[in-house]
Structure 1
Amino acid sequence: MTRFLVPFVLILTLAACASAPTGPTVTVMPREGKPFDVFQKEDQECRTFAAKAVEDTSNAALKQGATSALIGAAIGAAAGAVIQGGSSQNIGTGAGIGLLGGSAMGAMGASNKEDQAQTQYNIAYQQCMYAKGNQVPSFRPLR
């Protein structure tokens, strides 16, 4: 029983690590001559805008990621038990290995969803700050 309990707690811990974006990971600068207190006010407004823009998407994506971690763990445990077969000790070991492998794959899926939510947040934040006349870094076109 302990063989299944420890990996299950690990899965729940990994699933709980997924979180919605808490702020931008991009740099935006005030335009020349803009007072800093105005820039700070716009920054807060745009953070709120970006959070609302990805709220439904990021919550759904994070729930899906956590669910995929649990499903991956369950499938991995079942596959490990079937592959090991034989004695009850082998079944428990195989299920434990499958449980860990499946939960790791599910956790990677949750991490990908979190990255997508952060990217969407950054885009919404940059759009808002640019619309307020701030300097947003640009990319050079590929040649």
Structure 2
Amino acid sequence: MKPIRVAIPVSIVVALALGGCAVVPPSGPSVVALPRSGEPLNQFQQDDYTCRDYAFHSTDASGAAQSATANGVNSAALGTIGGAAVGALIGAATGNPAAGAAIGAGGGLLVGSSAGANGAQASAMGMQARYDAAYAQCMTSKGNTISQPPMAGYAPQPVYVAPPPRYVAPPPVIMYAPYPRY
């Protein structure tokens, strides 16, 4: 029996699965800053640059991104190890622990990496919120105004109200009298 070479495809799958766990620090604010009336554009741009720098340093975005990425990778690794262990136990019960471990490791990698990616996305959203808050505070302290875009929401489903039932009386039944017998 020939050994199966799966080293290249497995490494590609692992790299793609763990790539979803990477967290990128915020690249800028998601709020709109408006200059105070009469402020020259150069002054507003300088305030914007200063406040972006302040927000980046006050949220420690690079450290938080590295921490969130490490948590995502750890989640995928733990999922792989746990899946392999459970798969080996199930495989041992059926008589083939190696195949069970391999299948369990693959399933654990998928579940662990999806959990890691979900946690990474939540971390990225939290970092963006902290960045926006620091940026907005800085811009407001310099006299500028902040306009936040409306939150995306869903309109409630329209309520369908059926019209009241109409009862129509059946047409009258005309009974003809039988012909008189003579």
User: What letter is aligned with 2:14?
Assistant: F
Q: Which residue of 2 aligns with 1:130?
A: 140
Distance 1:44 1:77 in 2: 50
Where 2:144 maps in the other structure, the secondary structure is coil
Residue matched to 2:52: 47
Ranked by relative contact order (alpha carbons within 8 Å, sequence separation 6 or more), the top structure is 1
User: 2:76 touches 2:108 (CA, 8 Å); kept in 1?
Assistant: no
- Work out whether residues 46 and 125 of structure 1, in 8 Å CA contact, stay in contact via their aligned partners in 2: yes
The answer to whether the aligner puts 1:92 opposite 2:102 as a matched pair is yes
Q: Is the 8 A contact 2:18 2:113 kept in 1?
A: no
Moved over 6 A (4+): none
Q: Which one has the largest radius of gyration? A: 2
**Count of residue pairs brought into register by the alignment:** 138
Indicate conservation of the 8 Å contact 1:29/1:135, yes or no: yes
Runs of 5+ unmatched residues, structure 1: none
Matched-pair identity in %: 36
Gaps of 5+ in 2: 1-5, 150-182
Amino acid at match of 2:15: V
Residue deviations 1:98-143 (CA, integer Å, cap 9, x gap)? 211111111111111111111101100000000010011369xxxx
Q: Normalising to structure 1: TM-score of the pair? A: 0.78
Moved more, 80-89 or 20-29: 80-89
The structure richer in helix per residue is 1
Instruction: State the Cα RMSD in Å.
Output: 2.6
The correspondence of residues 105-120 of structure 1 with structure 2, limited to 5 A, is 105-120=115-130
TM-score, L = length of structure 2:
0.64
